[in-house]
Chain A
Amino acid sequence: MLNENVSRRDFLKGSGALVVTFAVAPRIADAQIDPTAIGPKTVALDQVDGFVAIDRKGMVTVYSGKVDLGTGTDTALTQIAAEELGVPMARVKLVTGDTLLTPDQGITWASVTIQLGGMQIRQACATAREALLEQAARKLGAAQGDLVVKDGVVTDKSGAKRVAYAELVGNQSFRLKVNDKAPLKDPSQYTIVGKPIPRLDIPDKITGRFTYVHDFKRPGMVHARVVRPPAIKAQLQSWNDAQSKQVPSYVGAVRKGSFLAVVARNEWAAIKAAQAMQASWSSWEGLPEKAKLWDHVRATKIARDESLQSVGNSAQALAGGAKQLKATFDFAVNTHGSMGPSCAVAEFKDGKLTVWTASQATHTLRRQLARMLDMAELNVRCIYLEGSGCYGRNGHEDAAADAALIAKEVGVPVRVQWSRADEHGWDPKGPPTLHDFRGAVDASGNIVAWESELFAPDRAKPPAVTLVAADLAGMPKDDAFPGNIHQALAIPYAVPNIKATAHWLAETPFRPSWIRTPGRMQNTYANESFIDELAAAAGADPLEFRIRHLKDARGLDALERLRKLASWTPRTKPTGGAGEVAKGRGVSYVKYELVRTYVAVVADVEVNRRTGKIRVERFYVAHDCGQIINPDGLRNQIDGNVIQTVSRTMIEDLQWNRSTVTSLDWKSYPILQFPDVPEVVIDLIDRPKERPWGAGEPTAAVVPSAISNAVYDAVGIRMRSVPFTPDKVLAALKTA
C-alpha cells in the first residue's frame, strides 16, 4: 500500500556512496486513529525513519518511545528535535509510546528520558539534517559548508539560493541509518535548547481541554470494575450477581479464576454493581505483622549476595580504626499515590487487541499482555495516553491488563477505572528496605573503613512487574521486579577500604516495583546519614568532611556552590540549643549511580522537643545535570523531587493487617499538604558543552538524609528510621 505514489529519489550520500531513498511516510496517527488504517512504519532504533518524518508542508513528526509522565519531557524532546533539525518548535509534533509507531526506547524510568531517549532522537535528527544539507547542496549547486538552516529552510551564504526541507523530503522517508557520528549542532549556536520554553501541554491542562487516558472514549464502550479480594492471596470460591442485576445498565460479570469483574453501560452502574456483587473468598493471612516488619525482613531467606563495591580490606581496617561506628537504617513501604487512580481502555476486534494506557512502558506492556492472553505480540498494540503522574510503575499497567482481559471476553471496548482503594491497595509497592552499616575513622579524622549491607528483594529478573489480573486469573505472568535498587549503595567518596554488599531476599511482603529513585533513595539515605555520623565522630564539619573525601571536580564544584547558596557555616556538634523549638541544618550529596547527575543539598529544619514534630522549612539545592535542556522544566522537577520526598520522609508509611493493605485512602495514607511544604532554593549549574543527564530522580535521593542530618544538628539525635514521625523523635530524644 505504501509503495504506491512513491516518488523515489536516490542520491549519493557523501563520499561513501551510500544510497539514500525517500519513500512515502505514513500519515501521523493521533490517539484515536484506527490502527488498521496505518501502514507499516519502521520502528527500528537504528533508522532515522524510526524517529523522524517530514511532510510536504514541512511539518515534522518525531516518534518517541519515551513518554511524558507529567514531567514536561514532551516539551524538552520537542526542543531537542527542533533545535537539531533547525525548525521552529511549532512545526514539530511528537508521537509517543505507541507500539505500532514509536521505537522501543525502553521503559520511561530512571531519569533517562533526556539522557538516553533524547540523545537517540538528537542523533537521528542530526543524521536527517546532514542528509538534507547534502541534498540541498546538490540542488542549489552550493558547497555544503556554505549552507545554513533556519526555520526548516536551507539557504546559501548570499541568501539568494534557498530550498525548504519540505521540498527536499516532503512525505518521503529517509531510508537512512542513524549515524552516530553525524555532527551535532554546536551548543553555542542553540536558540531553543537551554531556554525556559513554556510547556506545550499546560494551556490545555489548565482549561480542561487535555485528554488524559481517563477521558478517552471509544464508540460503544462499556465500563468495568474489578471486585477485589478481601485478602491479597484469597481465592474466589463463589459469586452471585443477583443484587448486581438490580442495578439498571448492568451488563454482566466476567470471572476467570479469582479475577471477578462487573460490566455496565455506564460508570456509576459499574461501581454500584461491583458493590452489590456477592462473592465468597478463602481466607489468607500471609502478611507479616506490621509491628515486626524488620524482624521479618531479617528472617527472610537470602537468595543470593552481591558485592556492589569492594576496595581494600574493610574488616581489617575497621578493627584498626581509632573510632568505630555502626548503625541500622530502615525505610518504610511506600505506595505511588497517584492522584488519579489508574485507568485504561481496551478493545478486542478481529483477533487484535488495542489498549489505550498511561503505561510508562508500552512495549513491555505489549509483551506482557500478549503473554497473558496467549496472543502474538504483533496482534497487540499499546497506545500511550497521559495519566496521572505515576512516579514509577504504579497501577497503570494493571488497569490495562484488567481492561484487556475483560475486553477479550465481552468483545466491545472496555474502560476500567480503578477506585482510590484499588490504587492505594493494589498498586505495587516500594519494598521495605533495611541497611546495616559499620565504619571507622582514624586519629586524623579520615574514614578508613566503610561496610554497608542492604536487605531488599532480589532484582535478578527481567524488568517487568506481575500483572494483578494475570495473577488473579491464573494466567501466564511475569515475576516481580523491584527496580534497579542496587544502585547508589556504592559510595562516591575516596575511602581506602569499602565493602558494599546487597543481600537479595527471596521474598518481600508486597508485590514490589520501582517508585521514584528506587533503591537510590534508600541507599543514599543510609550512606549520607552514616557519613554524617562519621563526620561527627571525627569532630569534623559535615560539609568539609565530604569535601575532604571527594576527588571529583564537578562534585566538589556542586558542594562549593551549595556552600555559597546556603551560606553554610561550619559546625562540629549540634547547634540547635536547648529551647523547646530547635533549628538545625543538614547537608547531603550524591553523584547519581556514581556516573551522572550531581546534587548537593542543605535542609533547614525546626524540631519541637515537646511534640516531636519536625518542620522542614527550606531546601537549598545545587544541581549539575550537564547540559540543561529547559531550565524552568528542570526547576519544576527539582521542586517536585524535594516536596514529594519530604512527604515520603516525614509521613508516608503503608499500613496493613495480616491479610491486606489497610491504607486505602488519603486519610489512612496521608501525604504532605500545602501548609507543610518547604521552600526550595535552587542553583542550576549549566554545562552546555557536556552531555545532558537526568533530573527526574537524583534530587530525591538526598532529601531524607539531609533532613536526618539537620535533625541531628538541631537536637543531637539520629533519625535512622523513615518516616521521621513525632513518636520516633520523642523516643530518640528520651534516650539521647
Chain B
Amino acid sequence: MATTITFILNGKQRSVRVDDPEMPLLYALRNDLDLHGPRFGCGLAQCGACTVHVNGQAVRSCSFPVAKAAGTKVLTLEGLGTPQKPHPLQVAFIEEQAVQCGYCINGMVMQAAALLQTNKRPTESQIKEALANNLCRCGTHARIVRAVKRASETMA
C-alpha cells in the first residue's frame, strides 16, 4: 500500500508517495524530489555523504526511514544556500577551493553547518572531531577544516 508522506523541504511543503515507509529518506530526496545535494555513499551511515538536517539535526538520510521525516523540517544542501545567496559555509568552501571530486562535500558542509549551530567558534581540533565520521577519499581534509574555520569567523 502506497502511503503519502509530507514534510517541509527547504522551506516548502512537499509530499512523496512511497510503497515502503521504511525506504530511506535519501531515495525520496534524490529520486522523487530530484535533489542532487544529498549523495549515496554507503547506505550504512558510515561515510556521511548523504547528510541532511531533520529539525535542525544532522542525520544520515541513507539510514533514516522516510516515514520518520513526516511532519518534520528537512534541510538539504540546496536549501542551505543558493548560488545567488550562498550560506557562509558555501562561500568559505569556494574561497578555500575545498573540493576535489566533491562527492563527500554535501556531507562536509551539512555536518559543519550542524556544528556551527551549537559551537560558533570551534577550534581546529573540534572541527576535526565533528567531521571525524565524514569520510573523504580525495584528501581534501586540510582545506575543508580551513573552510569551516573561515566560515565560523565570518558568521561570528
Q: How far is the CB of B109 from chain A (nearest CB, A)?
A: 7
Interface size class of B (residues with CB under 8 A): 35 or more
Assembly CA distance A677 to B145 (angstroms):
11
Number of A-B contacts (CB under 8 A): 181
Residues A640 and B100 in contact, CB atoms below 8 Å apart: yes
Contacts of B38 in A (CB 8 A): 208
Instruction: Given A208-B36, A339-B47, A636-B97, decide whether A677 and B142 contact each other with a Cβ distance below 8 A.
Output: yes
Assembly CA distance A267 to B19 (angstroms):
11
Assembly CA distance A595 to B13 (angstroms):
60
Instruction: Answer yes or no: B139 CB below 8 A from chain A CBs.
Output: yes
Residues A340 and B40 in contact, CB atoms below 8 Å apart: yes
Contact digits for B119-144, partner A, Cβ 8 Å, 1 yes 0 no = 00000010111011111111111110
Contacts of A215 in B (CB 8 A): 30, 36
Q: Which of B31, B36, B97, B125 contacts A212 (CB 8 A)?
A: B36
Residues A199 and B99 in contact, CB atoms below 8 Å apart: yes
Residues B143 and A639 in contact, CB atoms below 8 Å apart: yes
Q: In chain A, residues 623-675, which have Cβ atoms closer than 8 Å to a Cβ of chain B?
A: 632-633, 636-637, 639-644, 647, 665-667, 671-675
CB-nearest residue of chain B to A199 = B97
Instruction: Given A206-B109, A210-B36, A340-B40, decide whether A632 and B97 contact each other with a Cβ distance below 8 A.
Output: yes
Contacts of A248 in B (CB 8 A): 2, 19-20
Contact digits for A204-231, partner B, Cβ 8 Å, 1 yes 0 no = 1111111110110000000000000000
Residues B41 and A339 in contact, CB atoms below 8 Å apart: yes
Instruction: Given A206-B90, A209-B36, A636-B97, decide whether A666 and B137 contact each other with a Cβ distance below 8 A.
Output: no
Q: How far is the CB of A429 from chain B (nearest CB, A)?
A: 15
Q: How far is the CB of B37 from chain A (nearest CB, A)?
A: 3
Contacts of A247 in B (CB 8 A): 19
Q: Which of B19, B132, B135 contacts A666 (CB 8 A)?
A: B135
Q: Which of A206, A633, A677 contacts B94 (CB 8 A)?
A: A206
Contacts of A386 in B (CB 8 A): 101
Residues A640 and B140 in contact, CB atoms below 8 Å apart: yes
Assembly CA distance A17 to B2 (angstroms):
73
Q: How far is the CB of A514 from chain B (nearest CB, A)?
A: 16
Given contacts A206-B105, A208-B78, A633-B97, 11 further A-B contacts (CB under 8 A): A202-B99, A203-B94, A207-B82, A208-B35, A208-B106, A268-B23, A337-B137, A389-B138, A639-B142, A665-B42, A666-B44
Residues A207 and B138 in contact, CB atoms below 8 Å apart: no
Residues A636 and B47 in contact, CB atoms below 8 Å apart: no
Chain B contact residues, CB within 8 Å of chain A: 2, 18-20, 23-24, 27, 30-31, 35-44, 46-47, 49, 76-78, 81-83, 86, 90, 93-94, 97, 99-106, 109, 125, 127-129, 131-143, 145
Contacts of A203 in B (CB 8 A): 83, 94
Residues B76 and A674 in contact, CB atoms below 8 Å apart: no
Instruction: Answer yes or no: A679 CB below 8 A from chain B CBs.
Output: yes
Q: Which of A340, A640, A666, A677 contacts B39 (CB 8 A)?
A: A340
Contacts of B49 in A (CB 8 A): 339-340
Q: Which of A199, A204, A268, A643 contacts B142 (CB 8 A)?
A: A643
Residues A674 and B100 in contact, CB atoms below 8 Å apart: no
Residues B102 and A205 in contact, CB atoms below 8 Å apart: yes
Assembly CA distance A198 to B19 (angstroms):
44
Most buried by A among B27, B78, B134: B27
Instruction: Answer yes or no: A338 CB below 8 A from chain B CBs.
Output: yes
Count contacts on A: residues with CB < 8 A to the other chain.
63
Contacts of B77 in A (CB 8 A): 206-208
Assembly CA distance A672 to B101 (angstroms):
17
Contacts of A643 in B (CB 8 A): 139-142
Q: Looking at the complex, which of A66-74, A375-383, A503-511 is the stretch in contact with chain B? A: A66-74
Assembly CA distance A641 to B138 (angstroms):
8
Q: How far is the CB of B56 from chain A (nearest CB, A)?
A: 19
Assembly CA distance A272 to B20 (angstroms):
10
The 8 residue pairs across chains A and B that have the minimum distance between CB atoms: A70-B101, A208-B37, A643-B139, A389-B101, A640-B139, A205-B102, A388-B103, A674-B128
Q: How far is the CB of A161 from chain B (nearest CB, A)?
A: 40
Instruction: Name 6 interchain pairs, CB-CB below 8 A, sorted by A.
Output: A206-B86, A214-B40, A338-B137, A340-B39, A340-B49, A674-B134
Q: How far is the CB of B2 from chain A (nearest CB, A)?
A: 7
Instruction: Answer yes or no: A417 CB below 8 A from chain B CBs.
Output: yes
Contacts of A209 in B (CB 8 A): 36, 78, 83
Q: How far is the CB of B19 from chain A (nearest CB, A)?
A: 4
Assembly CA distance A645 to B102 (angstroms):
19
Instruction: Given A198-B94, A206-B99, A643-B142, decide whether A674 and B19 contact each other with a Cβ distance below 8 A.
Output: no
Assembly CA distance A311 to B41 (angstroms):
49
CB-nearest residue of chain A to B134 = A674
Contacts of B90 in A (CB 8 A): 206-207
Contacts of B141 in A (CB 8 A): 643, 672, 674, 677
Contacts of A679 in B (CB 8 A): 142
Contacts of A199 in B (CB 8 A): 97, 99
Contacts of A249 in B (CB 8 A): 19
Q: In chain A, residues 471-519, which have Cβ atoms closer than 8 Å to a Cβ of chain B?
A: none
